[in-house]
Amino acid sequence: MTESVLQVPRELRRGGKAFDEEASIESGLHLIQLIARKFGIPDLANSSVLDIGCGCKLVQAILEHDVPIGRYVGVDVFPDLIAFLQAKVADPRFTFHVQNTHNEMYNPAGEPLSADTRLPVAESSFDIICLFSVFTHLAPHDYVAMLHMLRRYIKPDGKLIFSLFVHETTRDGLGFIDTIDRAWKARPDKLDAFKEAFQQRYNALGRPDFLDWDPTDPLHWAVYSREHALRLIEGTGWEVESLNDPEPAIQHYMICRPV
């Protein structure tokens, strides 16, 4: 039987809030509310949702806060987590699948992602596809491949939402670059060797389209210029509705519709 409060062992939780389960669940709730608000719907009661790189926070938020959901399919490269969710979440609205695709940070031994990669779900069957903290770890070739691959699973009137790191400061100071900028300004005398090396590399490159922010920790932070992030959408079967500034629960985020 599904647990109304689903507690997930620490070793199965990933991401910036992995050590604070309550904060992680609240973050998941805010993301669900964001989807509803931006898509102009009261809730997800009539929506079929595909969550790529699902982790557990949206599932936990839905169950703990009794969030209305039509259908939820979670896909992740982490087999132990998916096995746990399959065992603990018996609610027929939920299904979970392992997808063994390569990611330099989370699944370096996985199979290369391409436009021809297939998911174990029906095509053209989802109203909403969401990816939170996925494009934030994708190099440009996987950014494009992911968009091509996902296109076949969206309904004609569906929407795609995904978060990403954009190399710009923001009005509210909530972006990745805002955080880095504040840290560097506050302690210029305490830059470590990596930051010094990065600053030299960045100065030499000018304003690059893409930066793997810390080469010693591949794709922990995949940072794009605004122009490049938008340009990579072209020809993938999607049209950009908006590229939005960060909010407390999310970095920059893109909303697209199929074309």
pLDDT tens-place string over residues 242-252: 999 999 999 99
What dihedral angle (degrees, nearest 10) is formed by the CA atoms of 155, 156, 162, 167?
Answer: 160
- This prediction has a pTM of 0.92
Domain boundaries in the chain?
10-167+222-258
DSSP 68: -
Per DSSP bridges, beta strands 252-258 and 154-166 are: antiparallel
- The pLDDT tens digits for 64-113 are 999 999 999 999 999 999 999 999 999 999 999 999 999 888 899 999 99
- Name 199's Cβ contacts closer than 8 Å, sequence gap at least 6: 191
Tell me the pairing of strands 94-98 and 126-131.
unpaired
Render pLDDT for 4-63 as a digit per residue (tens, 0 to 9).
679 999 999 988 888 899 999 999 999 999 999 999 999 999 999 999 999 999 999 999
**DSSP3 helix / strand / coil % (the chain, rounded to 5):** 35, 25, 40
Burial classification of residue 65, based on how many CB atoms lie within 10 Å of its CB (0-12 exposed, 13-18 middle, 19 or more buried): middle
Residue 2, pLDDT > 60, answer: no
Q: Strands 126-131 and 44-52: what pairing?
A: parallel
- Give me the residue label for tokens 């997800």: 44
pLDDT exceeds 70 at position 238: yes
CATH topology of domain 10-167+222-258: Rossmann fold (3.40.50)
Residue whose pair of structure tokens reads 């699902």 in the numeric block: 54
Amino acid identity for residue 232 in this structure: L
Q: Is 235 exposed, middle or buried (0-12, 13-18, 19+ CB in 10 A)?
A: exposed
Cα torsion for 233, 229, 47, 2, to the nearest 10°?
130
